[in-house]
Amino acid sequence: MVSTLLTPHVVNLDRVRPAIRALQPDLVSWRRQIHQHPELGFQEVLTAELIHQKLSEWGIAHQMGVAKTGVVAVIEGRRSGKTLAVRADMDALPIQEENEVSYKSQRDGSMHACGHDGHTAIALGFASYLARHRDFAGTVKIIFQPAEEGPGGAQPMIEAGVLQNPDVDAIIGLHLWNYLPMGTVGVRAGALMAAVECFRCTILGKGGHGAIPQTTIDSVLVSAQIVTLLQSIVARNVDPLASAVVTVGELHAGTAENVIADTAQMRGTVRYFDPKYQGFFQQRLEAMIRGVCDSHGAKYNLDYWQLYPPVVNDAAIADLVRSVAEAVVETPAGVVPQCQTMGGEDMSFFLQSVPGCYFFLGSANATRNFTYPHHHPRFDFDETVLQVGVEMFARCAERFLAD
């Protein structure tokens, strides 16, 4: 993806219909208003109120307070037909913004550092466009979802019935993506993003003096061997044609240089694309921890949990999105299928429930210094892409509902 980022792609905005191009000032205004008032997961009160105000202004039926702070809009066409859902996440991150811009976050310690403000603005623009262009068959649901960054709002919204009444036939969503330049779309069938699993382990040894190690059970030594051994899960237990990651991101132990620590704590994450590996890593990881601890006479406490399953796109819906992208960004060179990432997303729960496609919309612009990665305190994106996102949603809806 690095080489793609260095290759400029310029989207032909003539491919964006005039009615959507005319929305661009509003799209920027909504995005910046949301950006200035970032809200963490299940706290998106101001964001939901803005959505409510706009949907009410446009005469769009909607439900508030779904899964605490979620909003679901329902836009019916002039004829009966299928139902397409569009999902946009609303939450921010606990990051202190370092950008010096007029729309900088006004909340210390919170920032839209992943583009969800843009996702919400694009979904609002799509709703505005549909409200004035209802000559389609079927229904469009727009799901404004809380808490994607954690603890996860998709599953609670599904449990609240957002995919029913009417039943959703397919779902699409997008993620602004600063690893691709504006003018490109990343879309592929099958796995796009990885499953996210997490673990927390405490090694229980026996402390003592660093000069008399024979009387101790060294939790640091045990932990070091475990960290090294865990890498063999991917190297020797996973199909080399598959992809997986086991990362220990935290390791804490000890209080002094001459004291052997009696306990050590480690935390980490596991990522993989193939759903067949669900449950496998937990079993192998615990077996290795148990084996190392047994060999040293140590004990352990392990917590292991799945956060999100992999994001797996339906082949037919992905093909629809790809064909729309080729029309919007003008040439097939602007469509990037090599766009997989080990990042996770709870859009995966929606895609487990109904066929759908999640895709990346390139938002980087090196000439304007919009190249900082997601979750960086200086993350920002080229707002020109907002109208392109609305056009993508509009064409996907027209194509799907017409079939």
**Active-site positions?**
91, 148
Q: What are phi and psi of 125, to 5 degrees?
A: -60, -40
DSSP-derived 3-state class of residue 76 = strand
Residue 133 CB contacts under 8 Å (≥ 6 apart), including other chains = 19
Q: Are 299 and 288 in contact (CB under 8 A)?
A: no
Dist CA 393 CA 88 (whole Å): 11
Dist CA 379 CA 377 (whole Å): 6
Dist CA 290 CA 305 (whole Å): 18
Angle at 223 between CA 222 and CA 229, to 5 degrees: 90
171, containing H or E segment: strand 170-181
How many CB atoms sit inside 10 A of residue 316's CB?
13
